[in-house]
Amino acid sequence: MDDSLPTHRIDDQATPPGFQETPTAPASTGTASTADRLRAALAARDPQAPALAEDAMRAAPADYDVPLLAALIMLVAKQPDRALTYLKRHQKRWVPGKRTDLLTALALAQQGHVGRAGTMLEAAGLDTLYRAYGALPQGVNVAEWLGGRLAEIARKRGRSPPPKAKPKPAKPARPTPRAIAMPAAPALPDLPRLEAGFTTSIEFANADAIRVTGDLPDPTWFRLRGELTQLGLFQGFDELLCLPLLHGVETHWYQVETVRKVLKQYRGRVLLADEVGLGKTIEAGMVVKEYMLRGMAERVLILTPASLVGQWREEMAEKFSIDCATTHDKLLRDDPAAFWAQPRVIASIAAARRKEHAALLAEQGYDVVVVDEAHHLKDQSSASYHLVNRLQKRFLLLLSATPVQNNLIELYNLLTLLQPGIFKTPKEFRAAYMVHGKPREPVNREKLRDLMRGVMVRNTRALAALRLPRRHAATLRAAPEPEEAACYRVLTALVRDVAADGQHRLAAQHLLSAAGSSPAAAAVAIARFRERHAPDKSWSALQSRYAALGAGAKQAALLDLLQRNPAEKKMVFVHHRDSLAHLAGLLRARGMAFATFDGSMSGPEKDASVAAFRDSVPILLCSESGGEGRNLQFCNTLINFDIPWNPMAIEQRIGRIDRIGQVREVFVFNLATAGTIEDQVLRILDEKINMFELVVGEVGAILGELEEQQDFSTMVLEAWLQASDAARDAAFAALEGQLTAARRDYEDAKQLDEALFGNELDAG
């Protein structure tokens, strides 16, 4: 990262004329980048600049310059809190440097912490205008404003701080406070800062008993004593039994600390509110496993959004060796009573809250209940809340990265589930903690945090020292040959016909998805469809046309990518097995070395593939399960040969290499044939939620609300299958609107939670 000081010369002519009142250019200037628009707004001192900055932070939070420029705009607009929020976000992705130091110091000064600001500037060597100017974000020219701020800091540090209350008109200078200041530091406006002593003492409890020799060796009793000592460590949860029994889990210290705290301090009732991507699921799984190993839990219920049931089942089985029944099982429909009587169940919360199931659930007793995406319980009058409230449970783990979305009363509701009575009645909570008419603003933040400390853990990426690498994503839209485009049009029309009455939806999805992957996959998918559903001859003709196509439009783009920078390792994700086989044949024919990794392989075969990829071959062709549970951080390039319609699946692919331990920049290439559903899906995800710039885990958080009723891929299919082009465009426009709103809601909730919880509720 380049955070070096630019070598600008400051002279009178280069000094900007200051902010003008002239309106700035509109935000949508076409080719101008987001950062350039911010620079323009800053240069013109546009009154709309703060709003533009907010939009820019939503649109391009991962851009290096955008958060810095947005923070600077907020400082110019005298909104230091927002500036600090943006700087914090910048620091989550980038190593802090002089730019962040300068802007942070200016924000602190605006908040009244002039002493800290001055110290920070001095420490960073930014206490002169020349140096500070060089540390401004590149391309901005606010020397006059900056000079004023630095002079103000210097002036205020030299005398007593201004009163906190509303500013008063200038008064005659008062006598200096030198005569009445504390003797230790009469000239300083701040209370001199002292450090508490930190002492360590070690006491040998039984040094006299230490034996250095003996007569008769006694290995049995010696071993038993060792075991007794180890078992003693497990008392009180200081040592975790579960750690050696986890599979494919790379545990981090903050996760272990969190689990310890949950077990010891919170006694199994806690809101786990870690920031996205820090592994709340792993923490919850460890807690469940620990309780089971200690014989403290037998019956476990995990409630989760429907779209995550499968993922939870897999993780619990593979990582924690805990097999669970799920609401996908047939038994739920055949015999609900028997289904819910099972000791370990992962349930879609939507299914569980249905009246007939909720009644059965209420009769069961559970040792541990886990609720994923627990912000769905924010409303006390909702069926989900009633369900969890009525459950008979000993330990309760609520998981949410954004527990408070709109109103502090949501926090009351969640924490009251964990510790009934913690905040007394809603009325008392409102009176004690909420500003009247401002439901998002706490009256006494510190007191609220003190209470939350007893029921909530929130680890942040800053605590975990998690610096995610910069990610670059590019979408390559391959123009299809006329015959391939024609085949796709015919397929779309045929699929619309067969799915018109609401039937064959799964088949329709599979056919279109296969055609978006490769002609080879399309031909095989059509053949299978014909076998099962015996449709008319037009399907047969289409199958022949696809079979005759051979290479699809994306093939050339893939080969081009693979041949560039040949020494760099590249993972190629292919959803459709027939496409995978086709590509394997193609690479083999061209003499390109590669390894494969797919779900049908045994564990040792997968290990061998990953080893070959790491040590000898530059390409790994893999299915959706590619690299699961393996360390692949040695690779930093990922190619999505085909695009799953489910964004979570795309995110999981990215997460294979963009994870803790990846130190290089990550490159993601998406291949799509123009005019296909995948093309449309990529456009929506890229433009509306900036999917490829999100931290792994955030997609799920954004789609959470949207997918309450229907998953994203179904929505895409529904839109695509509209009868007319106009109806299709309208359906996609509606979907885009929903996504944009979901992203905005998520960002709002994230900001609110950051402000509310800060970084004082972590497990460290």
Partner 1 sequence: MSSMLAEPGPLQRFVAELLTAEGALIEPIEPEGLDAVVPPSLQQALGVPELCRLGFGTALPEAAARVGIESDWLERCARVMGERGRWTKVMLDASAGLGDAEAALAHELALDNATFRLVAARPAWTRYLLFDLRYTAISDEKRDGVLRCIVNLATGALPDAVLERITPWLDDAGTDAVPPDSSMLPPDWPRSRVLDVLRHAVPPRLAEALAQFERGLRRRLARDQDRLHAYHNDLYREAMRRAAGAAEGDPVHQREQLRIAAIGREYRAKLDDLGHKYALRVALDWTRTLELVMPVVRLEVLVRRRKADRTVWLDWNRLARRLESPPCEDSFGPERPRLACDDAVHLVSAAGLAACPGCGKPYCRACHPGGCPKCGRA
Q: 265 CB contacts (<8 Å, ≥6 apart)?
A: none
**Please, which of residues 290-319 interact with partner 1 by CB under 8 A?**
292-298
The one among 18, 158, 310, 764 contacting partner 1 by CB under 8 A: 764
| Residue pair 331/325 in contact by the 8 Å Cβ criterion | yes
Smallest distance, Å, CB 380 to partner 1? Answer: 32
The one among 235, 381, 602, 724 contacting partner 1 by CB under 8 A: 235
Does position 616 interact with partner 1 (CB under 8 A)? The reply is no
Burial track 422-443 (b if 16+ CB lie within 10 A, e otherwise): ebeeeeebbeebbeeeeebebe
Size, binding site for partner 1 by CB under 8 A: 73
| Residue pair 273/308 in contact by the 8 Å Cβ criterion | no
Does position 173 interact with partner 1 (CB under 8 A)? The reply is no
Among 17-25, 196-204, 625-633, 733-741, which window interacts with partner 1 (CB under 8 A)? Answer: 196-204
Smallest distance, Å, CB 195 to partner 1? Answer: 7
Tokens of 608: 């061998």
Does position 253 interact with partner 1 (CB under 8 A)? The reply is yes
Among 206-214, 675-683, 687-695, 734-742, which window interacts with partner 1 (CB under 8 A)? Answer: 206-214
Which of 760, 691, 701, 700 has the alpha carbon at shortest distance from 59?
Answer: 691
**Please, which of residues 212-231 interact with partner 1 by CB under 8 A?**
212-214, 217-231
Smallest distance, Å, CB 323 to partner 1? Answer: 14
Strands (E), 479-632: 570-573, 595-597, 619-622
Scanning the structure block, which residue is given the tokens 């009633």?
386
DSSP output for 232-290: HHHGGGSS-SSGGG-SS----HHHHHHHHHHHHTSTTEEEE-PPTTS-HHHHHHHHHHH
Smallest distance, Å, CB 222 to partner 1? Answer: 4
Scanning the structure block, which residue is given the tokens 């701020």?
149
User: In this complex, which beta carbon is closest to partner 1, that of residue 206 or of residue 724?
Assistant: 206
The one among 16, 139, 177, 439 contacting partner 1 by CB under 8 A: 177
Q: Residue type at 209?
A: A
**Please, which of residues 369-398 interact with partner 1 by CB under 8 A?**
none
User: In this complex, which beta carbon is closest to partner 1, that of residue 23 or of residue 158?
Assistant: 158
Smallest distance, Å, CB 297 to partner 1? Answer: 6
The length of the chain is 764
Nearest-10 Cα torsion for 244, 250, 254, 260: -20
Does position 193 interact with partner 1 (CB under 8 A)? The reply is yes
Q: E strand or H helix at 345, and its extent?
A: strand 344-348
Among 7-15, 147-155, 208-216, 324-332, which window interacts with partner 1 (CB under 8 A)? Answer: 208-216
85-93 — which CB contacts under 8 Å span 24+ positions? 85/751, 85/754, 85/755, 86/53, 86/57, 88/462, 88/754, 89/57, 89/61, 90/64, 91/462, 92/461, 92/462, 92/466, 92/467, 92/468, 92/695, 93/62, 93/467, 93/468, 93/470
CA atoms of 367 and 610, how far apart (whole Å): 40
The one among 241, 592, 649, 731 contacting partner 1 by CB under 8 A: 241
DSSP output for 648-669: HHHHHHHHHHSSTT--S-EEEE
CA atoms of 274 and 280, how far apart (whole Å): 6
Does position 211 interact with partner 1 (CB under 8 A)? The reply is yes
**Please, which of residues 333-362 interact with partner 1 by CB under 8 A?**
none
Smallest distance, Å, CB 120 to partner 1? Answer: 14
Smallest distance, Å, CB 436 to partner 1? Answer: 25
**Please, which of residues 408-447 interact with partner 1 by CB under 8 A?**
446
Smallest distance, Å, CB 166 to partner 1? Answer: 14
User: In this complex, which beta carbon is closest to partner 1, that of residue 95 or of residue 207?
Assistant: 207
Smallest distance, Å, CB 242 to partner 1? Answer: 12
Smallest distance, Å, CB 187 to partner 1? Answer: 12
762 forms beta bridges with none
Does position 199 interact with partner 1 (CB under 8 A)? The reply is yes
The one among 10, 77, 181, 601 contacting partner 1 by CB under 8 A: 181
User: In this complex, which beta carbon is closest to partner 1, that of residue 246 or of residue 695?
Assistant: 246
Identify the burial level of 129 via C-beta atoms within 10 angstroms of its C-beta, where 0-12 means exposed, 13-18 middle and 19 or more buried.
middle
**Please, which of residues 438-497 interact with partner 1 by CB under 8 A?**
446
Smallest distance, Å, CB 182 to partner 1? Answer: 5
Does position 197 interact with partner 1 (CB under 8 A)? The reply is yes
Does position 170 interact with partner 1 (CB under 8 A)? The reply is no
User: In this complex, which beta carbon is closest to partner 1, that of residue 244 or of residue 591?
Assistant: 244
**Please, which of residues 107-166 interact with partner 1 by CB under 8 A?**
160-161, 163-164
Does position 22 interact with partner 1 (CB under 8 A)? The reply is no
Nearest-10 Cα torsion for 310, 311, 314, 319: -160
